[in-house]
Amino acid sequence: MRDKMTSQESKILAASGGALAAVVLVGAVGALFMRGPGAYGPTYRQATAGAPADPTVFESVRGKMESSGGAAALLAVTPQALARGKSLYADSCAGCHGDDGNAKTPVAAVMSPPPRDFTSPRGWTRGYTLAETYRTLTEGVAGTGMAAFDTLSPADRFALAHYVQSFGKFDHKDDLAAEAKLLDAKYHLAKMVRGPNKVSVPVAMAHMAAEYAAPRAVVLPLASDRSPGARLCRRLVSDPVRAATILSQLPGWREKLDVFAAAVLEGAPANGFRPAAALLTRAQWRAFHAELVARAPARR
Residues that bind ligand HEC in the complex, under the rule CB under 6 A: 92-93, 95-97, 111, 113, 115-116, 124-127, 133, 136-137, 141, 144-146, 149, 160, 164
Q: How many CB atoms lie within 10 A of CB 134?
A: 24
Distance from C-alpha of 182 to C-alpha of 176, rounded to nearest angstrom = 10
Q: Is 133 exposed, middle or buried (0-12, 13-18, 19+ CB in 10 A)?
A: buried
Distance from C-alpha of 125 to C-alpha of 73, rounded to nearest angstrom = 26
- Nearer of residues 70 and 145 to ligand HEC, judged by Cβ: 145
Query: For 209, how many CA atoms within 13 A lie in the half-sphere containing its CB?
Result: 17
Residues 6 or more apart from 9 whose CB is under 8 A from it?
Answer: 20
Closest approach of ligand HEC to the CB of residue 271, in Å: 51
Residues in the chain: 300
- Nearer of residues 56 and 125 to ligand HEC, judged by Cβ: 125
- Nearer of residues 116 and 295 to ligand HEC, judged by Cβ: 116
- Nearer of residues 22 and 146 to ligand HEC, judged by Cβ: 146
Closest approach of ligand HEC to the CB of residue 100, in Å: 14
Q: Is 157 exposed, middle or buried (0-12, 13-18, 19+ CB in 10 A)?
A: buried
- Nearer of residues 140 and 240 to ligand HEC, judged by Cβ: 140
Closest approach of ligand HEC to the CB of residue 268, in Å: 55
Q: Is 124 exposed, middle or buried (0-12, 13-18, 19+ CB in 10 A)?
A: middle
Distance from C-alpha of 61 to C-alpha of 201, rounded to nearest angstrom = 13
- Nearer of residues 117 and 266 to ligand HEC, judged by Cβ: 117
Q: Which of 132, 130, 100, 126 is nearest to 113 (CA)?
A: 126
- Nearer of residues 146 and 280 to ligand HEC, judged by Cβ: 146
Q: Is 5 exposed, middle or buried (0-12, 13-18, 19+ CB in 10 A)?
A: exposed
Closest approach of ligand HEC to the CB of residue 187, in Å: 16
